[in-house]
Structure 1
């Protein structure tokens, strides 16, 4: 999808980022970060594939559909453009467009309405999990680099993802009441989507990045890259914040939240294993 005609409506403008300030000596030799950022740029750049499904899913709700089409999608696509520009500036020899098109051929098959939850309330709860994952990811990226332009971009994206979470949560509360979604059903949706974070999107993206970065590479080398990316995220993941965001849709009492904090912290580190 093309950018909005009036980019001033976005929370930040990519045109204001000075990519010439990138300190190449702090990032260029970091191959783990290359794979993490490039895979993330692929997923963000494919946002229009699943946004259209969500707009159709919420077509009967003008408020939700309008926000998705007029705000969320444009902001997600700007994330993809910013990350792509960064990757291409730091690693200009990588065939980003060719690798991305290869990724889309596989990724597009997963972006179907069948992948959405059964009800609007459950889908909104699931979106809260996804936005928790993305906001945590970009906070982790910000924490594990000292390259100033990357930190600026990661912070912009993190703020957007937190804002997206708040909007999805706001809509979720309305639908939860209207559809009388139980806490148990909500928990089931959250748990199911958390389990799914281990699969599909990020692993597909990493595989296509690897295929174009190391065309003669072995399966063992690819597995090592996945492991290094996972380790980088885990070491820098803001666990406490992530767990609080995951638990919020359950609307638990403070006592129950505190009792679940510790076991969920361990599970979060297990399942937040690759970029989202």
Structure 2
């Protein structure tokens, strides 16, 4: 397992209310899926992916800027299955695009999300913390090893693994809720604790392309503080994507935490 931290177990699995609702809907949609009986999955090779991780321009002190990022190409591109997902499932997906996953095991999906989609530098993954036989989570830690992002994964009805969201202790998102229909500008709100309160919000398309981004300001400490804003983006009018809430290191501008919320376009 990629840099696995053995024996680690999370003491708090707090996620946003929106992700909890999405999980309930998704469980209902998958209730007829076959179960392998013992709750295990068989690893398969991680797809080769190429991407440009989100980049930020920093001030001399390391404060992340808000210059446009190069759109990443984070969805596996070779031999994507033709199968599509039911609408209820597709609305819960962050990564890869609904129906396009080649990930046969949960670790590969979480690793692809962390490195290729979110843009963590040299992240480590915890042991797989299994929920039911088709879902679970990983704790992802960036290279400095200080802050943790919890990545939620699920095996959907095409039998492939997907990331359905991520959460952190320091960013709590109230709006948008998971799966919500969204049009430009995207309204966002919640609470955050970050360097100088800076949270970069990105709207991503189904292939990971950055459709729009803008900063919002929470609290610089010691406790989280409220943020709110509107994020203009190029609205594709239909399909599924994600809203990402990212915080960066004061030291070198590297990604520290990310909350990912699935959204549906054409609101």
TM-score bucket (shorter structure) = under 0.3
With the length of structure 1 as denominator, give the TM-score of the two structures.
0.27
Could you state the TM-score of these two structures normalised by the residue count of structure 2? Answer: 0.28
Greater relative contact order (Cα 8 A, min sep 6): structure 1 or 2? Answer: 1
Between structure 1 and structure 2, the one with the greater Rg is 1
